[in-house]
Each structure stands twice: as C-alpha cells, then as structure tokens.
A and B are shown apart, each in its own frame.
Chain A
Amino acid sequence: MIYKYTEHIFDKEIGSITSYDSNITLLGSLFTQESGTHESNCFVSPLRIGIARYEHIFYQSLPSAIYYDETEDWIFQAELTAGVNRRISFWKYNKKTFEWSHRGVIKTGVVGIIETVRGLRAVLDEYVSGSVSSNGSSLTIYGTDTQWQSSNLCSGNRIGFGSNTRTGIDRWYEIASIDSDSQITLSGDNVSLSSGTPYVIQDLRIVMSCFGGVSISGGIFVAKGLRPELFTPIETQIPSGGTTDNQTGVYWLKDAPTVSNTGACGCAIDVSKTDWNTHYVYVVNSITGPKTNLYKYNIRQNLNGTLESNGGSTASHVLTTATQEVQYAPNAYGNGIITSLNHGPEPLEPSLYYIANRGLQRINVKRIKNNANWTDDAMSFKPPGGTQTFYLDPRYINTVDDSGILDKLILMSTHANSSRSLVSKYYSDGGKNADGIFEACTFMLHNNSGGVDRLPKIYNPVNVSTYISIIQGMMYVNRTTTITTYQQMFAIPIGADWLSAEQTNQRIITPKLYTERCKEFQRVYVNNNQSMGTGVSEYPTDPYRIYYRIHGIDNNTGKWIPVPVNGIFNDGVNSESIQFMLEFKTLGMFMNYPKIYSLGIAYVHDESDDNLLYSQTKSDPNTKEYVWWFKSAYGTIVPELEIKIYDQKTDAIIFIDSSASSLYGNWYKSIDSGATWNTYDDTDLTNTTTYLKYSATALYDNIQTTAILYTK
C-alpha cells in the first residue's frame, strides 16, 4: 500500500472569500497571506497584531475608531489626566502592514477649568449630495442640489473633488467658510471645476463627556470643523466656538443654563446620524447616592442664535430621564454604547448598554424619555461554566463594546488581580453564563526598552485597565495606565474569531486539492508554528480548526465537515479531490495567532498489489488485454482480486470488475510466460513464469486507460 500526500503551500494566488474560486486560496477580510524568501515567511493567518506606544506622547485612552478604507483605520484618543485644554490624539493604523502612525494632536478647551475626559467619540460623516463647479480658477465653489449650510457642515472641514467616494479623492482642501447652501469658500489654492463635478465633504467632529464634578465642567463638548490635517505634532489649539456655530471650535452642549449633567461616565452615540440635523448622544450620569440618570443630546443641532460667548448652548439638550437609585454606581470611564444586536430581548432594536450595579444594563433608546424611569433589563456577569469554573469578580468588568460582526458584546476587565474579559451574547435572564473568556496576563512588556520589536507581538493586559473601540472586526485596545512601561495600544482582529465564523465568513479556504486515485483518506496534516517568540518570551499560539469537503467544491455548495483533532478521517472516505477550510480563535488566551505554512492530506493511493507487476510487454491495448506478472506469492490462496480501469485523461474510473464474479471481461492465468492462457484460478504463485490476464469485453475503443489489480 502506498500513501500519497497532496499538499497546499500558502505561497500562491489568493482572493477574497466573498468571490468564490476553487483554484486559489480565499481569505476573509481579517486574514492575511504573507510571503518572503524563506519558506517560513510564507503563511496564512489572522491579521497580525499591531502595537503602538504612546508613553512618549502623553497619557491617553478611550479610543474611538473609524473605519476609513480597506487599508486604514483612524483611531482617536483623549488625554486622560485632569487639566485644561484636554488633548485629542489621532492615530492611523495600516491593516495591511500592521503598523501604526501617530498623526498628531489637537487641544480642545472651552471653559478653562480642570476637567477629566470620561467619554470620547469621533464621528466622520461625508456629504456628497449634488455636484459642484467653479467659475474658472477660484476659491469659491458653487453647489448644485446642495444644502451645505442647512446640513450643518462646518468651516474647517475638508472637501475633495472628482469623486463622491473618499478613496477617489486625490487632494483635500480646507473649507474656509460655508457661505450658503450652495456656496463655500476654500482656503489655500484655487481650483477649477467644471459643472457637475462630484465631491466629498468630510465632517469630522469629536464628542467628549467630561467630569470635573461641577456645573462648569459638566455636559458634553463637541469639537466641530475638524479635519485630519489639524492634528499635528505641534498640537493645534481648537478654540471655543464662541457665538457662531459650525466653525472650527469647541461647543459646550449644556442640559440647562446651570448644568446638572456633572457626573458623566462616558458618552454613547447613535451608530449613525438620523439626518444632517440629528445625531443623538446619550450620557450615563452618576449622582452621589449612588443614583443615576441619563442625558440625551443632539450633536447636529444648529446652535446659532443660542450660543453663549464661550460656545455654550442648551439647544442640543433633548431630555433628562428620572433619577434612579442604584446599588452600585456606574463605572466612571468609557461607559455606554448604543448598538443594535441581532439577538436578545429585542433583536435589532437600538439600545443603550452600560455597566452599573455590577452588571450590564440595557434600555431600548425608544424608552429613554424625559423624566421617566428607564432600565429595561440587565445581564449579570457570569463566566463560561459558571462561577465554579472561573473566578470572576463582577466589579472587575469595566467597559462594554459591541464586537460588531460577531454579534457579541465585549466586556473588558480592569484586569485587577489578572482578571479576564468576557465575550458574550446579551443574556438578560440572569442565569446564563457568558459565551467565552479571553486574555491572560503574561506580563510581557512592550515598551521601548523592552522592545516592541524584540519580543513577539502578543497582546496581554499586564494587570491594568483597558479601553477599547471596535470597528469592522478590529478591536483597538488601549492599556490605560499612568505607568509608562505599559502605555501601549494594540490592534487585534477579534472579528476573525471562530465563535461566529459561520455568520462572518472570516475563514480561510484552500484551493481544491487533487487526490488522484485516492482509495481512502488517512489524515490531514497542517504545518504551523506552535508558538511565537523564543526562549523566555515564547508563548503557545491560540488554536484553529479544520473542515473539509469532497463534494460541491466547484460551485461552493458542499457542506463542510469538521476534521477531528488528530486529523484522522473515517474509514473509507475517498475522493479525487478535497478542499479545506480553517477557522481561528482570535479571542483566545494569548491573542497569539498561528501561521499556517501548509496543509495536506495523506491518502492511500490506488495501486496494484505489490505481489503483481504490470507487464507492458504482454499487455495489448488493441485487444484490451491487461497482463500482470505474478511477482511474489501471497502465501495462501490468491484472494479475490479486483481490477480497476481508469480513463488516463480524466482519471475517472471506467469500471471495476472482480475475479470472483466478472461482469465486464474475462480472467486468465498462464504459468508459461503467456504461451498458454488458461482459466483463472486462485492457486498461489508456483513459478516465475506465472501471469494473470484480464481481457475487457465492455470497453470503448480508442480510449487510453490505466489498470490496477489489487486484493478486494
């Protein structure tokens, strides 16, 4: 018996898993295939983890991520120490190279008192309605079917021409003023635009909830009229908005002339604006007692005519709920999200989720009403397997975010005492355990001197709180601590986790692998690194799992079947081709993803018995006679033999016939080198001139065939 091996090495053509092709490797959007000069540089894996260091900038956190394009995400962070003119840091993350770049900083101030940022949201909206033109080369741009002013676009935003998608813009221009619904003025260089030119205006604004404990630091603050170019190493000062709305400035959204929203714990923002005049933000407010209430603001409310000299206005305030007593106060930072989960008590209903009472609270935003009570339901924090299986102190669950494509919530720990984080659907019945637990503190350092490059890029929380922002399956995790050694931010492709792979299609599919004359599959072998790092910093990789299919490969209709842990196939499974699919655990213990170098299948090759040797000289294709020399004895009577005739061109089996009951031909035996052919019998080898012959009677003419003879 000969075992053959068909292998796929991951150094060949790739494509997107959304465009099925059985000839190439298909990757989910959160996977990569890399290449290099050495074989070990060629592999597939989930996107590698990128690490940014901010210890040399300033203490910052509460990341807010924006998906920009397939290559780039934007991440904004707030300065966390108390003070005036809190700074906002702007990072870009390249998802292809796994590299971070720090673009710069703006300073935001409005009231000039010491305050602490408790919540941060960055919002990027793009206005592309209508078209633009200019009178020759000019700074003045005219719009057709545009409503720039009534849509609350801001001077200081940027505009690009020639496309109505951001990726189609080659150059951006600063908007000096929004003159009317159909006229704007640029700053800098003139442009010359023909009528009907498409364009994009990027409206970037930063929303902050702050805490100083007094009315002059309460409410929320919105920096409008921003563009990426304002974020510079020299820290551009964004002034108070003053009495004119929709310009580059910071506006103070107040709930009342004397602000009562003084205990902000974060700010939750609707996933997208309702329209260009409506985009709601919700603030979970903590009151001594402990008590809690919620505030709702509209960050796209036009404030003109209501603004105070310091940019303050009550016009954005929508409502304040009733105040409710709670047993345990809401967590103070980064607390609250608005999202629509596709499960739970009210699937797809936008709801506010926030952490209080040592659990996760939920309320449908429709039921957040002025002066009304408001909690709908809650989820207690229980680890997988329950509290008999993992230690979990509910006080240590610190912040919540929506994983997005996984349709799960990420419940991040403070990591006090090396506590871990949870990933789970929202369970409001109070009895269900979370779906998964992830992270573990290895304490490996990634600061400058420790060597972000010297050590393997593996995430670990090192016992400090983390704040997160998740966008399109990428989780940006900030280790939030004043200890500079630990001040790093990680980019982790959690959306690639196997937990929801069926829904997300975050997988790797191999090309179709050919296994000609496969009699029986034996075992799948995968070559991958078992660990990352070396010596003192070597950590095991998180697992993956394998599926296979042998049907429906060409049209992607075949059902995937899990491969057992030892890769063994059930007896008798065989096919002329096979395909594999890989799923990975990216929300694991180490966030340390294996590199898959190759994957192959071992199988029993359909061969003639070793006792028999095909005789080319005595075979005759013209008479359709297939002859084997009886090379070695079986040691007993000859077992029942089968002959298998293959079409040489297609490797398809034409027929199988048996020496015990022949259907498609006749069997003969010769003990004199083929001089005389007698009736076949099962007597063992008697001399060296013994031959067996099969004469096919049911075989087309003019086809090229291969025959094998073997024990049935």
Chain B
Amino acid sequence: MSTRIAEHVFNGATGSISAYSTSATLLGTLMRQGSGANTTDYWVGPMPIGIARPSETAIGVYSGYPQPFHYDDTTDWIFLNEISTASIVRRIMLFEYNKKSSEFNWRGYVGLSFPLSGNNTVVGFRASLERYTTGTISANGISAFGLGTSWIGDGLAEGSRIGFHTTDYASVSSWFEINTIKDDTQMILNDDVGTITSGTAYVIEDLRFVTVTTNSVVGNGGVYLTKGINFNNFAVSGNFVESSSKENGKGTTVLLDNMATGVTGTNNYAVGCAIGSFDSWNQQYLYVLDHGNTTTSHKIYKYNIRASLSSTLNRSRSTDAFVLSTGLQATLVTRVLNNNGIYATFNHGPGNGIPSFYFVTTTRVYRANISDITNGSTTWISDMMVEIPPGGITTYPLYNVFASVDDATNIDKLIIVTSGAGGARSYITSYNSIADPFDHEFLIDTKQYDQSSSDSRTTPQLSINAVPFHIGALSGISYLVRANASVANNQLYAVPISVDWTYASITNQRVITPKIDTPNNNYYNRVHASYPQYMGIPPFDIPVEPFRIYYRTLGIDDNTGTWNMVNVDGSLSGLQGSTSIQFMLEFKIIGSTCLPSRVYSLAVSYEDDSTDSHYQPSVSHSSTATKAFAWRFSTAYGGTVPTMRVKLYDAVAGTLLVNDTSTGATGSWEKSTDNGTVWGAYDTTDKTNDTTYIRYIPASLSDDIKVKGILLQA
C-alpha cells in the first residue's frame, strides 16, 4: 500500500454548469478558467475584478452614478455621470466591460447642456435602454418608411440609432443615426443606407438619461431628461448635446412639476431618483426623492419619462411628464443628499413581491410601496429598517453613516453603502423591519490607491478610502465607483458579488471538476488544493477570500450524487476507496478584501492497493510450482505488524482471484527469518533481520494463468 495522488489541473476543457458533463470543468456564468503562457495563468475561480479609471481618461472626468446595461454575453455598457464640482455642462461617460477578460474600455463621453442657467451638481442619474422592433421597414437612400410602425406615437427620439435586417440588436452589423422622425411611418437618416426592401425587420435603440441636479441658481436644479443619444455619440473626443425644445428631439428637456410658479417648479431639493419598470412606449415612471428644504422629512415626485411633452413644451421646459408629488413625511436623521433611491421588487421581507421605492437616511433604510406614492400623501412610507450589524452590536459597532442603497441583483439582497467615514464598512442584507441583524458586513479600508501611478505590484482592491461607493448592479455583477473627485480615489470596479458562496445554492455559481479517476484505491486520505494565498506582490500582498470544497464519489455520471463539504483540513478520513471522485468549489467574495480566490489544481491523495511499502516482492522465494507468493520484509513497522491482506489478480483480465487476510486466513501464511531456508508459522513480530521473508500459498488457484500478487494492510 502506498499513497497516491490524483490531480486535476485547471487547464482542460470547460463547459457551462447548466450542461452537465463529467469530462469537462463546469463553470457558473460568473466563473472563469484562466489561461496563458505560465502555469500560474491556469486557474478557475470567480471572474477577476475589473478596474477602470474615469478620472484618468483623456477627458479626465470625476464620475459616479453607474448605470449598467447588458449588451451581450461578452459586453456590458456602463454609463457614468459627473461628480465633479458644479458646472454648466455635465458629461456622461460610457465604459464597455468585457466580462470574459474583465477589462474595461472607455468608449468616450457626451456632454449635456441644460436649459436652465447656473452650475449643476448631479445628485441622481438614471438611464433607460429599450429597443423598438414593431412593424417592418423599407428604405431608399436616407429615407425610411415604416409599415405597422408608430414612431411618433411611441415617442421614439431623433438621434437614436437604427439597424436593419434583424430585430436582434446584437446581430446588427451597421447602425445608422435617425435625423428626423417625420411621422409614425417616415423618418430621415443621417446617412444613405441604399435600398432596403419593404418588410425588412429593424431595431431602434432608444437610450435616454435622467439627470437630477441641484443648481447654483436656487430653483434651477431639477429633473433633466435627455433623449436621442446613441452609442456612437460616445467618442473619446466627445460630443455635446444641446437642450431641446422639440418633442422627441435630440437633446435635454427639463421636466417641471409646475410651470405656474415660474420656470423652476418645486422639485428643487432632490437627493436622488429611481426609474420604474418599462410599462409601455408611453409610460415609464421616474421617482425623485426630495427633502423639501427640510432636515427631517422627504417627499417623492413622480414623472413619466415616456410621456408626450408637447402640450406644455416651451424653451426646453415641460410639465407634461409630471404625474404627482407626495406630501412631506418625517424621516429619522440624517438625510443623505445624493444617489439616494432605487426602484426594486424583492422576494422577501415586508416588500415581498411588491414594487417598492427604497431610500436611506444615515441610520435607516426606508421602503415605500409604489402604490402608496400618491398625490399629497404624507403616509407614503411603508416601513423602515434600522442598522443592526451582522451578529448584532456586540460583534460590530454601528456606523450610522448610510450613503445609498442598491439592489445586488440575482441574490435578492440590498447593498447598503456607507459614506466610508472613518473606514465605515458597508452591508449586503435582506430587508427587514423587525430589527434583525444584517446578513453581511463587507469592504474594508486598506488605504490602497488603484490609480495608474500606484506601484505596479499592487492588485486592484475595493478599499473604502473613507469614500462612499456608487453602485449599479446587473446580473450578478456590481459596478462600484469610488465616488470621490480625485484622481487617487475615483475608480470604477466590476465585482461579481453574486458568486458569493452564501448564495451558491440559488445562483449555481460554482465550479465542478471533471470526474477524477482514482484507480487501485483502497481508501481516501485527503483533499488538496493549490491556490494563491494572496493577490499582489509583497509587500503589496492582500489576502484572498476563502473558498470551500465539496466532494462526491457516487452519482457522478448522472449528476445525482449528494455533495459533501470537505473539512477545513481536507481530511477524508473514513471514506472508502472508489474508482473516481468529483469536486465542487464555492467561493466567498462578500467579505473584507472582496478579492476572490482562484484555484490552480485540486487533488486527492489515497492509499492504493499496491504492496505495502514495508515489503518487496521476492522473485527468488516465489514459486510457480507451489503457487507461493513471497515478499521480503524490507522495512520495520516499529511495532507489531498489522493484519495483512493478500490480493491475487488475473494479470490479463485484471479480475480479483484471491482476497485473503493474515488472520482467519483461507490460504497458508508463513514466515522465514533465515532467507527462506526454513519456513515457519506466520506471526506479527516486527522485522528482526534482513533475511526475513513472508509467503502466501492460496488454498486454490487455477493453473496456467498469469497472476499478479499484492500484499497490503488489511
């Protein structure tokens, strides 16, 4: 018997965990297998953390308020707006994130000019991306004609882009910008598209932005709706979009709640906004949280960002989108003045299945049923959640510095971000109104900068740096921007939050190894993993978050076997040998460093059924004539010899012919201490000299067969 090891190195075939196979490494959608020139480039684990530096782009804009959109399996789009010092112009940045390589690409920016004067400070930013494919189209040159279309009626905007021959935006090979929408069935394009026959499928990408600001001129802040911007407008050299006084024209219009009070309306103390679900091409609501110039109350303004603005549209102002405003309702201290509010429907808690508006004060998360947001209501808040750290206040202190709330997506949890003051950590939790402790505390302040001039031996890490993060989450990836107007601290990160092991049973974000053969296995010893303990190069090393391992030896082929968690020391003590084993990995990411681990290889050690290492086969004392199998006693045990077992195999067929033990034997066991001159009764006395041999003669064994004999501990 000797210790063997069976190893799987993560450099082979991979597949999706949703299509089970025993011959490939199976990956959850947010798991990756790396590759490259070095052996350390081969690993499995959660997708690495991606990083972009908005303030170090050519335009160098301090940015926040991330708004991510799924473009395809490879790419997400992330729009950002400015967090810089108040200015007349606010710029929207577009980054593309490659989910396969974890790399960002800065696409460019679009500058917005606002209809009202004064310098704007962005306090809320939301984007909406919808695709219009109704009817069919034909075109000739720059003119296009719709059949079954309602381009005006459905509020499509000039400046949007259109693609032909498909309704699948991802399949469009060439996009064209819409110059003018003349009516429901006629539009003019910027460029000649040649001839497109009638009945052709098409897709229009409708991208619109809501920028909520406060303004240096009291009353000139508010809600700005920008339509008609398309992907191609985002350029490194930038493009500027003016305010628009045309219904569905390309540009920005201010949405006022009341023209009668002048040009400003009353929604002047906004602290954030949230966009509701897309109900139709004529209805999608926007909820703007406003403190009404009080320190202890909030109200909500409701707008329809797909409403026709034409009836009151004047000098880029309109009240047509305004739906209602609630009355002020008291909230507990202290108000949070930007990036405040989300629209979400969680499947737990008091808001289970109920579309709700969530917002924060520094010590509370508030929830309002969307249906309760009615005109003039002063009881529109449904309930609230107080800060109770995980484990309670005897495990972690209260920070009392909530800064924003977001939807973690995929795991049915809220992300509550703090201001980071004093290094305050953030939370991921279910919502409750009964003072239950939060589920997770996460992030940590390591004071590390991730600017391009930082030491090249560092690894990007979500250090708090006494700064709040703005978060936009999409399909399990959270895009976090450290919201600070400095080059040192303004970075955009992509973090696959929802891979966290806590939620693996829901998300299936795991790695499953191929079936690993363990031939000649007597019993298992231990599971072993090779992985980096840290990222970065010392002295810039940062510990990675842990992972855990499960195994199964049954139900591998048909994926029915129950997974068993491996103990922290890897021990498989007591697990009987089998011909194969399979492993599953789950990773933690919601932690302190939030750096997910990666695994280079997994292995299992086991005791095989080869001859025990204390013995060596002896040719000279074995005999085909007598069918005696002899071994030299080569190494002492250091004590009593344990019960031994002989296995005789058919060497051709591999079948087991004899399986006998030294106690209660069916065959004959003998021992010699004089080099085989005299054979006596077998005993368990340890090796005494170099001429000690033992031999076994089976009770019966067929003639004329090739036999392989092994001796091992019983």
Contacts and interface: CB of A to CB of B under 8 A. Distances in A.
A602 B7 contact: yes
B605 A7 contact: yes
B353 interface: no
Interface stretch (A54-62, A550-558, A565-573, A678-686): A565-573
A530 B501 CA distance: 14
A621 B619 contact: yes
Nearest to B445: A418
A631 B568 CA distance: 43
B444 A389 contact: no
B601 interface: yes
Contact of B619 (A568, A594, A600, A620): A620
Nearest to A594: B533
A565 B397 CA distance: 37
B444 A391 contact: no
B488 interface: yes
Interface in A592-643: 592, 594, 597-598, 600, 602, 605, 613, 615-617, 619-622, 629, 631
Interface in B550-593: 567-571, 573, 588, 591-593
Given A384-B540, A417-B423, A588-B543, A564 B40 contact: yes
Contact of B546 (A6, A417, A540, A605): A540
Interface string A347-385: 000000000000000000000000000000000000111
A3 B597 CA distance: 26
Given A390-B447, A523-B7, A537-B391, A597 B530 contact: no
B591 A543 contact: no
B539 interface: yes
B539 A418 contact: no
Interface string B434-473: 0001011100111111010111011000001110000000
Contacts of A416: 422
Contact of B526 (A447, A566, A598): A598
B512 interface: no
Given A419-B447, A540-B591, A597-B569, A449 B394 contact: yes
Interface string A1-45: 011111100000000000000000000000000000001100100
Given A619-B619, A621-B619, A629-B651, A389 B547 contact: no
Nearest to A435: B539
A258 to B, nearest CB: 43
Contact of A602 (B5, B447, B451, B618): B5
Given A390-B449, A597-B570, A3 B532 contact: no
Contact of B7 (A3, A39, A451, A485): A3
Contacts of B539: 384, 435-437
Q: DSSP majority for the B interface?
A: loop
A649 interface: yes
A8 to B, nearest CB: 12
B306 interface: no
Contacts of A418: 422-423, 445, 447, 464, 466
B605 A589 contact: no
Nearest to A625: B619
B390 A450 contact: no
Contacts of B2: 4, 605
A374 to B, nearest CB: 33
Contact of A541 (B4, B453, B538, B543): B543
Interface string B406-450: 000000000000000111010000000000010111001111110
A390 B447 CA distance: 5
Nearest to B439: A536
B390 A536 contact: yes
Interface residues of B, number: 86
B466 A417 contact: yes
Contact of B448 (A390, A516, A592, A688): A390
Nearest to B3: A5
A543 B534 contact: yes
A117 to B, nearest CB: 27
Given A445-B396, A600-B605, A385 B423 contact: no
Interface string A561-583: 00011111000000000000000
Interface in A624-680: 629, 631, 648-649
B530 A444 contact: no
B551 to A, nearest CB: 14
Contacts of A589: 446, 542-543, 593
A531 interface: yes
A704 B632 contact: yes
B395 A463 contact: no
B228 interface: no
A450 to B, nearest CB: 4
A616 B454 CA distance: 67
Nearest to B617: A616
A386 interface: yes
Contacts of B541: 543, 585, 588
B140 interface: no
Please indicate which of the listed interface residues A445, A529, A613, A615 has the most CB atoms of chain B within 10 Å of its own CB.
A445
B616 interface: yes
A600 B396 contact: no
B568 A40 contact: yes
B529 interface: yes
Given A444-B395, A629-B706, A420 B422 contact: no
A538 interface: yes
A4 B4 contact: yes
A617 B445 CA distance: 71
A7 B3 contact: yes
B261 interface: no
A530 B546 contact: yes
B591 A385 contact: no
Nearest to B425: A443
A391 B591 contact: no
A246 interface: no
B698 to A, nearest CB: 15
A523 B391 CA distance: 40
A416 B445 CA distance: 11
Interface string B389-404: 0110011110000000
A420 B540 CA distance: 13
A527 B570 contact: yes
Interface string A525-547: 10101110001111111111000
Interface in B691-714: 706, 708
B592 A440 contact: yes
A529 B569 CA distance: 7
Contacts of B533: 530, 541, 543-544, 565, 594
Given A388-B449, A585-B541, A597-B570, A7 B593 contact: no
B457 A385 contact: yes
Contacts of A450: 394-395
B296 interface: no
A385 B540 contact: yes
B4 A39 contact: no
A418 B334 CA distance: 23
Interface in A427-449: 435-437, 440-445, 447, 449
Given A537-B395, A704-B632, 19 more contacts: A3-B7, A40-B569, A385-B457, A391-B447, A419-B447, A435-B539, A440-B446, A443-B441, A447-B394, A527-B528, A529-B568, A530-B546, A536-B390, A536-B395, A540-B545, A541-B543, A565-B533, A648-B616, A649-B634
12 contacts: A4-B2, A386-B455, A388-B454, A442-B425, A522-B7, A525-B603, A588-B543, A589-B593, A590-B543, A590-B592, A621-B620, A704-B618
Instruction: Sort A-B residue pairs by CB-CB distance and give the 9 closest, nearest first.
Output: A418-B423, A385-B455, A536-B390, A530-B546, A525-B528, A540-B543, A5-B5, A418-B445, A543-B533
Interface of B: 2-7, 39-40, 390-391, 394-397, 421-423, 425, 437, 439-441, 444-449, 451, 453-455, 457-458, 464-466, 488, 525-526, 528-530, 532-534, 538-547, 567-571, 573, 588, 591-593, 597, 600-601, 603, 605, 613, 616-620, 622, 624, 632, 634, 651-652, 690, 706, 708
